[in-house]
Structure 1
């Protein structure tokens, strides 16, 4: 009988088994790895809907510094990482360009998935905006400042997500405190002290052989109306409070207020205060602080102190600088859900802390962004007392008051 040569057969058998393994293993291992990735809790799941979400940012609020569109790049990168296959495009539009898109009953196909909400008027019909209240966690809502929540309520509907706030204050030139009876050490001013400072800073001045007027007080009105923070007082009453009465007296005294100051843009008012230095007190937003610091870096600007707007006992601060985005109704429920998730992500703690890059403030009650910045801290702390704004039922009443003041005859000079 012929004997098998085990020394030769065994290597051949092993070689055959190796070839069989190399041919069969790759598909098997690929399936195992694919299954493992699907089970990995740290691997983001691809959402049911993928594509591009669009957001139109309208500059209803001027940031202290920087660009909102550029700031949004950070939160967008984070969101796109969490939701593979979903991308967000941001477009900055002026109010005039938005009006063109909305004119003539144009198709909603041209409109974005998310859009800035107006303040003194709402260009987008509120019925076209998704009610976010049913799916919004109550705990998350309770952590937002009350005035910011009020900003996005329309009756019993929540038509947007508030994500950024500004604040108003008084910028007062240091030279106003040269007298012994006035001191800059106080953290607040009452209307009596403010009146003293304003009158002191109203005088003719000679510079380079030229005589020019220096005014005591100035403000501006563009997309926001800081002057209302001074005259919208206790219990929501406007006319008859101390701030309103003081402005009425100043308007009758020559040299206190610049001509046509009610029509000033921010840039005109700031230039008069910090560049031409013809105004002693400027009422406005955190942008004054940021812009003055930029000037000081180049050896310009003005030495100033910052104070909160005076408030009567039992009063409340008026605030119209609250940025919010709404979600337009969409055919795809999954796409709508992703839009809402992105807006909610803007409320996350790490994202809200980045608002310092815009020189703005958080809508969250539990965050203080400017503990080490005395000027910004003063404006930030006043937000805890902000409880009135042009929102809900107040909007029509405040707009009517504003139009009345714009159209009234100038007060006779005493």
Structure 2
């Protein structure tokens, strides 16, 4: 038997509940709380040179690895129950029996080994705890959620207001088509990863009182390794896939918005769910209209006389009939008028407004008649102290 298997067999003779200082029926939360307390007290970083506490820390970590895992804890409890009823001898090894044990050359390795090749025996029940000889038969890779995918969609100004369906070409990370994500050459034999012992993760110290789980670097979290690596992905288990999907961009979307499409990302592995697709929307500007929140904006050029004397000015709306602005006499440059219900579509289906800002235009040149009229206007208003406030 390999050294690590002997170590696992030794687990059966240890009371992990006693190591953690909790009752056998303690809740998962109480087990976790006890583990954290003991880990803080005995962590090597906090107790340099204290071999007793170092060994205590190892024992606590070993106990929590079993009792802190729901599936392992259930199998551990079942095994201890069989042992308490006289099912296994104290030594757990091969021999002729003993107090509370089996006679006739009983060996734990034989009990845990699936000698007939059929599943469902003690090897299936306790192989992951005590290093059964056919662990690879019962070890199933965990389901893995697919990766999230990001894409960009560029749409027109009007499409952003009305909503549009766009076609997106996506390239995403996925399981290798040759090995289907295992990382092994098809036809080669899988083994439990020796680095993480089939857990899919390894424990890494943070330099403080706690440790964290990290994806196993040897198997990439797949729990198994193979005799030969896949020739296509070179053991990574990963590949790329290209596909086209139709994505609906909702009405009223704004430039720079990020839309999440659930389950439209990369496919999962081993029955895991697909990831999500995040679409960043870029809206091309309009020649006339702008946007401010849920309102549309437009700049309306008017002449001096229209602003001074008042006028009715016809302006366009986006996708609708023109409307008429009524400018009162003395309308200043930059005044904004609101046209209700002619803006962008809101989420509730209602619409914002159209904000029309007047810009008084100054002619670059004048014909003689216009010049004469303006000079007459200048003479008539010459006495007005227009800039008197600048020197007050």
Name the TM-score class by shorter chain: under 0.3
Which has the greater radius of gyration? Answer: 2
What TM-score do the two structures reach when normalised by structure 2?
A: 0.22
Q: Which has the higher contact order (CA 8 A, sep 6+)?
A: 1
In proportion to residue count, which structure has more helix? Answer: 1
What TM-score do the two structures reach when normalised by structure 1?
A: 0.21
